[in-house]
Amino acid sequence: MKNVIFLSLSLFLATLSANDKYTDEQIYNKMCIECHSFDGSGNTEKLTPSMIGESQEEIERSLVEIENDKDHVIMKHNRTKILEMGMEYSAKSMAEYMHTRFTK
Ligand code: HEC
């Protein structure tokens, strides 16, 4: 029984490490779209504001503020959960991805 537990744990860890590099697009589609919507228009039910019309610099500034625990109480919490799931993203490249996606 113990061996089974060990085996599934190492399989789980192997899966995690094989997947530990997600693209910004994969992270957005898995973790952000639910609240921020496919086009950045947000989601009133989730109290999520629209980011349409924000510049890349504004989005990056917000992402840096979230990292540094400045304002953004809800997003700070979300980010912690997202990182716990192994989805690391950088403010700079995520801002670029979101801006490109939202201005299409
Ligand atoms: C459970 C809902 C939820 C999820 C999931 C979520 N967000 Fe948010 N996000 C919010 C809410 C609500 C706010 C506004 C409150 C705040 O800033 O804390 C916000 C704010 C933001 C802001 C600042 C917007 C502004 O104009 O000030 C950015 C940038 C952001 N989120 C990026 C992301 C990214 C990137 C992801 C995925 C990795 C993500 N969010 C996932 C709900 C969510």
Domain boundaries, the chain: 21-102
- How confident is residue 11, by pLDDT bands cut at 50, 70 and 90? low
Residue length, the chain? Answer: 104
C-alpha span between 1 and 19 (Å, rounded): 27
| C-alpha to C-alpha distance for 63 and 90, rounded to whole angstroms | 8
Judged against a pLDDT cut of 80, whether residue 30 lies above it is answered with: yes
Q: What is the pLDDT of residue 104?
A: 81
For domain 21-102, say whether CATH 1.10.10 is its number: no
Chain centroid, CA 35 distance in Å:
11
- Report the C-alpha gap between 91 and 101 in whole angstroms: 15
Q: For residue 73, what pLDDT is reported?
A: 93
> Per residue in 40-96, pLDDT tens?
999 999 999 999 999 999 999 999 999 999 899 999 999 999 999 999 999 999 999
Name every protein residue with a CB atom under 6 angstroms from any ligand 1 atom. 27, 31-32, 34-36, 46-49, 51, 54, 59, 62-63, 72-75, 78, 82, 94
Give the amino acid at 45: E
Going by CA atoms, what residue is nearest to atom 17 of ligand 1? Answer: 72
